[in-house]
A and B are shown apart, each in its own frame.
Chain A
Amino acid sequence: MENPYLPYPVRIDSIVTETEDRNLKTFRFVFINPEDEEKFAYTPGQFAELSIAGKGEIPIGIASSPTEKGFVAFTVNKTGVVTTHLHNMKEGDVMGIRGPLGNWYPWEEMEGKNVVIIGGGFAFTTLRSSIIYMLHPDNRPKFKDITVVYGARNPGMLLYRDELAQWEQRDDMDMHITVDGTDDPDWKYNVGFVPAITEDKITSADNAIATVCGPPIMIRFTQPVLEKLGFPPERIILSLEMRMKCGIGICGRCNIGDQYVCKDGPVFTLAQLKQLPGEY
Chain B
Amino acid sequence: MIEYGEKIREIALKLLKNKEVDVFIGYKKGTVPMMNEPVLITDPDQVESLYWDSFCALNLCNYLTKRTDKIGIVATGCNSRNIATHIVENQIKRDQLYIVGVPCEGMIDHRAVMRTIKQREITDIREEGDRFTVVGKDFEETFEKKTFLQNNCATCTHRNPVIYDEMVGEPVEEQTDVAPFKDVEKIEQMAPEKRQGFFARLTSRCLRCYACRNACPLCYCPTCFVDESTPQWVGKSIDPTDTLTFHFLRAYHCAGRCTDCGACERVCPVGIKMRQFTKKLNKDCQELFSWEAGLTLDQRPPLDVYSPDDYNEFIK
A and B interact: yes
Instruction: List B contacts of A278 (CB < 8 A).
Output: none
Interface residues of chain A: helix, strand, loop or mixed (majority): helix
B230 to chain A: closest residue by CB: A81
Instruction: List A contacts of B31 (CB < 8 A).
Output: none
Q: Interface residues of B toward A: which range? A: under 10
CB of A8, distance to nearest CB on chain B (Å)? 25
Q: Which chain B residues numbered 180 to 232 have a C-beta less than 8 Å away from chain A?
A: 229-230, 232
Distance, CA A84 to CA B230, complexed state (A)? 10
Q: Which chain A residues numbered 65 to 106 have a C-beta less than 8 Å away from chain B?
A: 80-81, 84
> How many residues on the A side are at the interface (Cβ–Cβ under 8 A)?
3
CB of B230, distance to nearest CB on chain A (Å)? 6
CB of A224, distance to nearest CB on chain B (Å)? 34
Instruction: List B contacts of A84 (CB < 8 A).
Output: 230
Instruction: List A contacts of B232 (CB < 8 A).
Output: 81
A80 to chain B: closest residue by CB: B229
Instruction: List B contacts of A80 (CB < 8 A).
Output: 229-230
A56 to chain B: closest residue by CB: B229
A84 to chain B: closest residue by CB: B230
CB of B276, distance to nearest CB on chain A (Å)? 34
CB of A112, distance to nearest CB on chain B (Å)? 47
CB of B299, distance to nearest CB on chain A (Å)? 40
Q: Which chain B residues numbered 214 to 252 have a C-beta less than 8 Å away from chain A?
A: 229-230, 232
Distance, CA A80 to CA B232, complexed state (A)? 12
Instruction: List B contacts of A81 (CB < 8 A).
Output: 229-230, 232
CB of B215, distance to nearest CB on chain A (Å)? 24
B229 to chain A: closest residue by CB: A81
Distance, CA A234 to CA B229, complexed state (A)? 39
A81 to chain B: closest residue by CB: B229
Distance, CA A192 to CA B236, complexed state (A)? 46
Instruction: List A contacts of B229 (CB < 8 A).
Output: 80-81
CB of B170, distance to nearest CB on chain A (Å)? 51
Instruction: List A contacts of B230 (CB < 8 A).
Output: 80-81, 84
A82 to chain B: closest residue by CB: B229
Distance, CA A81 to CA B230, complexed state (A)? 7
Distance, CA A151 to CA B70, complexed state (A)? 47
CB of B239, distance to nearest CB on chain A (Å)? 16
A192-221 contact mask (Cβ, 8 Å, vs B): 1 or 0 = 000000000000000000000000000000
CB of B137, distance to nearest CB on chain A (Å)? 38
CB of B38, distance to nearest CB on chain A (Å)? 26
Q: Which chain B residues numbered 98 to 130 have a C-beta less than 8 Å away from chain A?
A: none
6 contacts between A and B (CB under 8 A): A80-B229, A80-B230, A81-B229, A81-B230, A81-B232, A84-B230
What is B's interface to A at a CB cutoff of 8 Å?
229-230, 232
What is A's interface to B at a CB cutoff of 8 Å?
80-81, 84
Q: Which 4 A-B pairs have the closest CB atoms?
A: A81-B229, A81-B230, A80-B229, A80-B230
